[in-house]
Structures are given as C-alpha cells and as structure tokens.
Structure 1
Amino acid sequence: MSERIVSFVMSGGVGSRLWPLSREDNPKQFHDFSGDGSMLAKTLRRLAARPAGETPIFLIASERHAERVHADLAGLDLAGGGPLFEPTGRNTAAAVALATLRTLSEFGDSLVLVVPSDHEISTAEQFWRSVEAGAVPAHAGRLVVFGIKPTQPETGYGYIEVAADRDGVFDVSRFVEKPDLATAQTYLEAGTFYWNTGIFLFRAGAMRDAFAAFAPDIWRATEAAYKAATSDLSGLYMPLELYSAIPSTSIDYAIMERAKGIAMVPAGFRWNDLGSWQSLLDVGPSDDQGNVIVGDVVAIDCENSYIRGEGRLLSAIGMKDVAIVSTADATFVAPVSHSQHVKKIVEQLEKSGRLETRFTPAHDRVIESGAWRQRVHH
C-alpha cells in the first residue's frame, strides 16, 4: 500500500531507568548508544525511509528540549511535518490525542502511526513491512498494535495476549502490565503472549471515536490546548495553563485496555526498548568476554558486564554480570539482573530533593561526543 501515513514520534519521556546517564534535561532519546546518532535521530530516519507513500513526520517533544530537537531534525526531510512542543509532560494519552487532532485538522481521516523515540529496531525495511501489514485492519477502523514474540521471560515489558489470527492479524484479548518473573515464564510457555512495543497505527477518526467513548475529558482538554496553540518556523507551542489541565495518564490505561476489536500484528523486526543497562549489554558491541565497554575504561578479568565511563578513567577488576556507569557527578553499580530497579534510586533521590536526576553536569555534555573512545585491557 502507498496511502498516506501521518507519523508521530513521542519524545517526552525521561528514561529514568538509564540513570545516571539519562536525566530530565538530557533524556535517553538524545543519547548515542551505538555510535550512529541519537535514538531520536535514528527513529526519524527510519520513518523518513518509507519506501513509498506520503509520510509527513511530526515530533511531540518537551518545550525544554527544543534546542536538542532542532539539532536532531537538521538535514531531515519531514515531508510537511514538524515539531509539536509540550509545555509540560502529560503522558502518552495526551500525546496520542494531540497526534489525532493534528492529523484531523491537516490531513483529515488519514492513517496515523505513533512510535516511541527511543527504541532500537533492526532495519527500516522490516519496520515498514510490518507497518504496511497493519494498514489493512487500521484502514478498516481497528486500532492496531505491534507485538514481539518473547524470547525469554522478560519482566521489563508489558504484554499483549492474543486470540484468533486471521491472515497474520491477531485479535487482542487483553493487555497486561509488566509481570514478575514467574508470571513472565508462564506467558512465555503459553505461546499466546507478545511483548508490547508501544507502537500504534489507526485511522484518526477511529481514535477520535475511542477518546469520545472512553476518555472524553482528555480529548476535550487536549483539543482546547491545541486550538489555542501558536506556530512559528520552529514548531507549534501550546499554552501551559491549558495543556497542564489535561489529565495525565497513559494511552494504554485511557484507551487500549478498554477498546474492543483491537488488532495485533506480529512485528517482523528485531526490537529492544533500551530501557535498562541489561538491554544495552544485550545489543551493544561486546568484547570476547561479553563486556560492553564505553569510554575511558580499563577492565581486567571482567565478564558479561556493561561498563561505561563518562569523562574520567574508570577501572574494574574481576566484575561479572554487573553494570557500572560513572558520570561526572554520580556512579551506579548493580548486577545487570537488577538494572530494571534503577527507578527506585531515582525516586529516592527525588524525594531528597537531589538535582542529580534532573541536570547533566556541563562537563558530561562536552565529553559526550567522544564517548566512544575506548581503552580496554584484559
């Protein structure tokens, strides 16, 4: 198919599970984890690589990150799209409502694709092949999600349970939250559960109707903020007073867990949400001992560890299955199997009023571009 698909990238998250690298002022989507551009830039390039069909590309991001956003947009053809800046974060339901409103006002009842800004996906070709497979049920008025067949009992992802399959498109039975390990193991063995990628495809009119049925307060508040927005060459800006009045909840809670007839397309691409140091260990370039080493690091007799130094020399001996991440003002150390729990530290720091969760030291900004310089000894 080559019909218009209006694409929106959600880039409002903080990525606290990758603290101390990811901060409020410099979240993970702006980091380069593989040496070929930031997560956001790679997401935008993937959308721009659609083989055929009109694909305007929009970005929903925090107003405070406007400068970083424009740096990542440089040189990209957005095909008539552009940035929409949130004056404050109101979670993903507001972002999807905003995407739907923008599409209806400019493109009518077109197909809308909403993707996170910070996921690792194998190739643009495989990605778009999966999206085009979802265009058929989406065009028929169904809300479409994309699932990944689990390869291990993962506790860091939400899951989708599916029922009947028709021509490669499954009916969704239910969405389930991140499980504990025992529950994740039963999901893996059942064979009817998929990891939820957080990628959505739908007709703008179908999503508008879903908001009208299940979350009319979110729709009304987002519409009020959108109608009062101002635009200039740098993007669209909404008034803080109106935008902050939008109820803050996820699109999963507001719509997807309540709507009927949702379709799931199995994703034909490799995917990782890079939501933990374990995930970066899984996808990063590793040495003979299974370590991923980034920065000015000396590692001796270490195995299966993620060791990252931002700036000053970091040295480690005899470490196995650990994450060590050192920035100018903070150091994090944990077994990689516990790396999903970083949020607990972030929550404790925030309760104490510590600034290390919010701001990146100026020194780190300077050396970030050279983070791939390595010094490794075994």
Structure 2
Amino acid sequence: MAATAPRDQPRDGRSDSRRCSQLLESLEDCNQNRPFRRRCQLSATWGHGRHDAHGRRCAARRNTRGVACNPGRRHQSRGSAMTRPVIPVILAGGSGTRLWPLSRQASPKQFTALTSPRTMLQETVERAKTIEAAGAPIIVTSAALAATVREQSPGATLIIEPVGRNTAPAAALAALYSTAEGADPILLVMPADHVIKDLNAYLNAMARAIPHADAGRLVTFGIVPTAPETGYGYIEQGSPIADAYRVARFVEKPNAAIAANYIASGRYLWNSGMFVFRASRFLDELGKHRPEMLAAVRSASLRGARSNGTIRIDLESFAAIEGDSIDYAVMEQTADAVVVPLDAGWSDIGSWAALWVIGDRDENDNILAGDVLALDTSGSYIRAESRLVAIAGLDGVVVVETPDAILVCSREKAQDVRRLVERLESAQRPEVE
C-alpha cells in the first residue's frame, strides 16, 4: 500500500498532483481492500475543484469541474469511481392522485409531510446529500410547482418543463445541463416521492451501483419484493456482475398468479424507477435508440432561458416531443443495463394502504394522525387535518379529512381513489385542484 507523504514535504502543485496520481494507481492494486479504498478515495464536490486524500486541493486543477486530479489522465478503475461527482436528479412534477384528498394538483404528495416532519421532497434531498461525492441536486418540475420546489429546496438547480413528457426527456434535460461545460458527472435519477426507511442499506446499494455507472453501465435499482404485488413492474435478474446483475428483461405489471410465480422463482425484483448512470452514457444510449427525442430535447434546452439557478425550457419545441419513460426509451434497449438489488424499506407511497403498510402502527394496528378518536377500530389509517375525526367499530378502513373534502374507503380498495379523482375531474370539482 502507498504510504502517506511526510508532513514536511513541500506542498507545491506538482507534488500534490503526484500524490493524487500515486493514490489512484495504488487503488488499482487494492480493489479488494475496501477500508483502504474508502480512506484513499479522492473527494469530489460539484463545482468546488478536487482535493487529495488529505483534504488539500490539487493546485494543478484549482479551476476545473469534473476533471480528475492527475493532469491528462482519466481514471476508470473501480477505485476512482468516487472522483466523479454524483448529481442527484429529482423528478418532482407528478400529481399523486392516489393520495387525494391530501394530494392535489397544486400541492401533490411530494410537497406533503407524510412520514416525518419534512416533506417527501425534502426527505429525498436530504437522503441524497448523504451519498459520498454528492453535489447540489437538479430538480425537474413543472411551472405550476416551481415556486414550491424553490421554497423547499433553495440550493437546487431547477429545470422547469412547460409540459410533462415522462421521465426520459426529463433525464435528458438534466444530462444536457450537467455536461454543458465539459463535465461528465454520474446522475442519480429518482422520483421525489419515494420512502426509504433503511438509510444504510440505501447507501450500500449506491456504493455498489456507482462503480458500474462510472464504468459506463446504466444501473437501475430493483426492490427486493415482499409480496406478489400486481401494481409494480418487475425486473428479471440475469448473470451476476460485480455486486449486481445484468438485466435479463423488464416485465410489465403482472396478474396475481404470474406475480406469485415471480416471487417464488427468486429471480425477480420490483422496478423502482431509480437509476444511476454517467450523463454522457445516458445521452449516448438515448441518441442511439431514440435519436429524434434527443434532438428535440436538445433543441428545447438550447432555446430555453436561464437565470438565478432556474432553467425554463422552451414550450413549442418541448411540447412537440413524444414522451416516454427511461425504461422504455433506454433501459429496455441498451445492452449495458445492470440491476442492483435494494432492500431498504422502500415504498413509492402509491396509495393510502401503502402508507399504512410502512407506517408505525399502534397496538390496534392503526395509524392515527391528527385529532382522531378511535374506538373498537383496527387495521385502519385515520388522518385528520383540520377537525376532530371520531370513528367506532370499523376495521381495515381509510379515513382522510381535509378542510374541503373527506375520503372514506376500504383499505383494500385504496387504489380506487384514482377512479374517484377521475370522476371529480370530469365534473370539474374544485376539490381536486
């Protein structure tokens, strides 16, 4: 192993750069010694240059962004993965209709505090900050929600879509922005409204995924399933590859019998909708498989306006894009898709029943939030926002009270809330706005 330099060694630019090079070369011989690798990895902070393993800035690269410490050499070893900045890209433009009446068009679930005093967006941002080498996030959202995003995430860069076009164009906008000055960061693309209960497991999965992304692979996270869910897509694991698996295939939401077979096989994971890849690799693959989409996104980005950390995308060119998801546009097409299993208490909070499943229930298996009085009631989720809610003699129900609407449904039928919202929207009821 490489020894640390003597304390009295001159700290000029050449010696600092030489130490950076020596450390990186040592890592190539020490891939199996994880504690050593962690001590020797060079820190990377987006937009703030590089430092050697002892915290000193490399003089030869004081003014660079996304460039390795050793001049003229780009390192691609596993040990160098953390020298590349990791930029969280948070998708925060959804409406979350399945959590009505708390989630509305003007204030969807990512801006509500459901599992902690912080909103789901704030939880997502804070969780991303814990990743080694993480930089300031990029948040992709809509014009209607931009003010709320800015209020809840003041340090983020905002990309404002004039219309929603699904996740592939949103990720492409972030990738184009992050590579505009010649950098090639690793992007961690994730929705703003997911819950992760086990932070250590989350960070361990990220540590396994990032070296794959640094090597040019496109990584998705597959949730270790706990039940034969029919509301999620699935990922079949292929051959193992360095703490992960090649993706054998993506499959659509199955029926109950097929989902049960998937679980029994042990080869399938839930599709989380979270991804890690180098910005340039995502753009390469999008250009290869959906060139018209990439060209249109590039045009919309170039014609947009930028000011004070906010990028407003051009309406006319962006509206002409045929939207698609990252899964369909890229991940199902590429030969370099890798899946990392994630077992971290994940939930996409797709319904009130899902919130009951992950929540802290009392001795009667209830979750009671707000001014609630429950008598002879069990297995229920009861939430009061503005007044007393009293309930007696019911089991397995969801009751959510807001100032202008009250939802009452069976917990087993919580997915049908979306159908209720569709009816209300067709009737142009203000309670959904």
Same fold (TM > 0.5): yes
Percent of pairs identical after alignment? 38
Conservation of the 8 A alpha-carbon contact between 1:11 and 1:60: yes
Conservation of the 8 A alpha-carbon contact between 1:161 and 1:193: yes
Q: Distance in 1 between matches of 2:229 and 2:182?
A: 39
> Which residue is equivalent to 1:327?
402
Q: Distance in 2 between matches of 1:54 and 1:255?
A: 24
Conservation of the 8 A alpha-carbon contact between 1:96 and 1:114: yes
> Which residue is equivalent to 1:114?
189
Deviation at 1:86, TM superposition (A): 1.5
Q: Distance in 2 between matches of 1:229 and 1:124?
A: 37
Residue 311 of structure 2 is aligned to residue 236 of structure 1: yes
> Which residue is equivalent to 1:64?
144
Conservation of the 8 A alpha-carbon contact between 1:324 and 1:332: yes
Question: Pick from 307, 329, 347: which aligns with 2:422?
Answer: 347
Bigger shift: residues 230-239 or 290-299: 230-239
> Which residue is equivalent to 1:9?
90
Which aligned pairs between 1:357-376 and structure 2 lie closer than 5 A?
A: 357=432, 359=433
Deviation at 1:323, TM superposition (A): 1.1
Cα deviation, 1:215-270, whole Å, max 9, x if unaligned, reads 22221111111111212225111222222222222222222222223100112522
Question: What amino acid maps onto 1:48 in structure 2?
Answer: K
Question: What amino acid maps onto 1:30 in structure 2?
Answer: F
Query: Structure 1 residues 126 and 107, CA, compared in 2 at 3 Å: closer, same or farther?
Result: farther
| Structural RMSD (CA) | 1.7
TM-score, with length taken from structure 2? 0.77
SS, match of residue 325 in structure 1: strand
Question: Pick from 48, 53, 57: which aligns with 2:133?
Answer: 53
Conservation of the 8 A alpha-carbon contact between 1:156 and 1:340: no
Question: Pick from 8, 14, 20: which aligns with 2:101?
Answer: 20
Residue 255 of structure 2 is aligned to residue 171 of structure 1: no
Q: Distance in 1 between matches of 2:202 and 2:305?
A: 34
Deviation at 1:277, TM superposition (A): 0.7
Q: Distance in 1 between matches of 2:401 and 2:395?
A: 17
SS, match of residue 85 in structure 1: strand
Cα deviation, 1:311-343, whole Å, max 9, x if unaligned, reads 122221111111111222222222212212322
Higher relative contact order (CA 8 A, sep 6+): 1
Q: Distance in 2 between matches of 1:12 and 1:54?
A: 22
Query: Structure 1 residues 116 and 125, CA, compared in 2 at 3 Å: closer, same or farther?
Result: same
Deviation at 1:35, TM superposition (A): 3.1
TM-score, with length taken from structure 1? 0.88
Conservation of the 8 A alpha-carbon contact between 2:224 and 2:343: no
Residue 262 of structure 2 is aligned to residue 187 of structure 1: yes
Which aligned pairs between 1:154-165 and structure 2 lie closer than 5 A?
A: 154-165=229-240
Question: What amino acid maps onto 2:265 in structure 1?
Answer: A
Query: Structure 1 residues 207 and 322, CA, compared in 2 at 3 Å: closer, same or farther?
Result: same
Bigger shift: residues 300-309 or 86-95: 86-95
> Which residue is equivalent to 1:293?
368
SS, match of residue 205 in structure 1: helix
Conservation of the 8 A alpha-carbon contact between 1:2 and 1:54: no
Conservation of the 8 A alpha-carbon contact between 2:88 and 2:134: no
Deviation at 1:112, TM superposition (A): 1.3
Which aligned pairs between 1:148-159 and structure 2 lie closer than 5 A?
A: 148-159=223-234
Conservation of the 8 A alpha-carbon contact between 1:31 and 1:38: yes
Conservation of the 8 A alpha-carbon contact between 2:286 and 2:294: yes
The structure with the largest alpha-carbon Rg is 2
Deviation at 1:193, TM superposition (A): 0.5
Q: Distance in 2 between matches of 1:107 and 1:7?
A: 18
> Which residue is equivalent to 2:280?
205
Q: Distance in 2 between matches of 1:324 and 1:260?
A: 47
Q: Distance in 1 between matches of 2:253 and 2:295?
A: 30
Deviation at 1:182, TM superposition (A): 2.1
> Which residue is equivalent to 1:37?
118
Deviation at 1:201, TM superposition (A): 0.7
Conservation of the 8 A alpha-carbon contact between 2:224 and 2:269: yes
SS, match of residue 202 in structure 1: strand
Question: What amino acid maps onto 1:13 in structure 2?
Answer: G
Residue 381 of structure 2 is aligned to residue 306 of structure 1: yes
Q: Distance in 2 between matches of 1:155 and 1:240?
A: 36
| Structure 2 residue ranges without an equivalent (≥5) | 1-80
Query: Structure 1 residues 125 and 82, CA, compared in 2 at 3 Å: closer, same or farther?
Result: farther
SS, match of residue 398 in structure 2: strand
Conservation of the 8 A alpha-carbon contact between 1:217 and 1:247: no
Count of equivalent residues: 352
